[in-house]
Amino acid sequence: MDTSFGAYIWDGDKKAHSTCARLNQKEVLKMNDYYPEGNLIETERNQKYIRCAEGLAEAAIEGRILEARAVLCDAGHNLHVEMPCMEGIIPYHDGAIGIAEGLTRDIALISRVSKPVCFIVKGFEDTPNGGKRAILSRREAQEKCRYEYISKLRCGDVIPARVTRLESFGAFCDIACGLPALMPIASLSVSRITHPSDRFNPGMDILGVVSSLEDGRVCLSQRELLGTWEENAALFSQGETVAGIIRSVEDYGVFVELTPNLAGLAEPRAGVAPGQNAGVYIKSILPSKMKLKLVIIDTSPLTNECSPPNYFITGGHIDHWVYSPPGCPKVIETIFGHDMLS
């Protein structure tokens, strides 16, 4: 599976480079010490600890967060974890924050079967066949992550995330150790879409900027990372014929998305529908009005697979983001607060 990020590299306060560069997963792992579940499992550091009993014992002493694959959720909703050296078990009440209190539903455990899970090693027990089994706690890993990482986030911080579930109102993401955040549909891009599946597939690795922190809940936004109007328009020239996606059909014209943060209006055309691919001719680019005038040349069905996002900003912190070109009467901007998670 391709776990790389599509990314534009942000160079300090300068504009993004115009050439798209891939940000691979190893680079993402350097951003902080806590990651969405699945990012650690194949790393050399993680494998060093889980391949032998001595490594697990060392990790227990250090309180280190590890990952392995859950292979069974038994009738008591205990998670059984497969490791090279021995089996591990995550008891039901240690499966996730909120399970013991009834605040987290059991589906949060059941849905982890066949997927990587994070944990802290709590100890070992003898098995009936004379072997050893590791006692693990995913809840304690999440509590450690919440205290040392998530509680220190500020609005405007750019962080890695992994898409876990798509709903009509937004995308749920794992921002570290299986802890969730919501990215509302309106914050996925400037160009409007009908469903988050127009942007994401479950399991996709993305970046998000923290947009709100309230009552223990984290919300993310992506549109501020996808470039300003000028940065996106600079990728195109008047007179070119380029690929786009039809997003809406109105009486006065057809809106065609060229990038997630750039759409133009094409002249009315019979037989077109939202969701189609379109080849469009660029008649004019008007920065003062944030407008592109287009002509649809041809259309074809849209493929279901979403491409990884192309980012202009890939890390750090954003206080203020302005989408609109200088001097444009209509100002589209985001001002991030500095609240920390309580």
**243 with 170, same domain?**
no
DSSP state of 85: S
Could you give the CA distance from residue 171 to residue 165 in angstroms, rounded to a whole number? 6
**pTM, whole model, 2 decimals?**
0.84
Is 265 in the same domain as 330?
no
| Residue 341 covered by a domain | no
| Structural domain span for residue 260 | 229-300
10 shares its domain with 55: no
CB 203 within 8 A of CB 163: yes
Q: Tell me, what DSSP letter sits at residue 266?
A: E
Q: Is residue 306 part of a domain?
A: no
Element (H, E) at 142: helix 138-148
Measured distance CA(80)–CA(170) in Å, rounded? 31
Extract the tokens encoding 16: 């993004």
Residue 305 token pair: 């697979």
- Closest listed residue to residue 146, CA positions, set 169, 118, 110: 118
Same domain, 206 and 177: yes
Query: What's 324's domain CATH number?
Result: 2.40.50.140
Tell me which residue has tokens 């794992």. Answer: 174
Place of tokens 């900027």: 209
The CA dihedral of 49, 55, 56, 57, to the nearest 10 degrees, is: -150
Ordered per-residue pLDDT tens for the chain, 342 residues: 232 333 323 333 333 333 343 344 444 444 457 999 999 999 999 999 999 999 999 999 999 999 999 999 999 999 999 999 999 999 999 999 999 999 899 999 999 999 999 999 999 999 888 889 999 999 999 999 999 999 999 999 999 999 999 999 999 999 999 999 999 999 999 999 999 999 999 999 999 999 999 887 999 999 999 999 999 999 999 999 999 999 999 999 999 999 999 999 999 999 899 999 999 999 999 999 999 999 999 999 877 678 889 999 999 999 999 999 998 889 999 999 755 544
Same domain, 72 and 215: no
Within a 10 A sphere around the Cβ of 297, how many other Cβ atoms?
Answer: 13
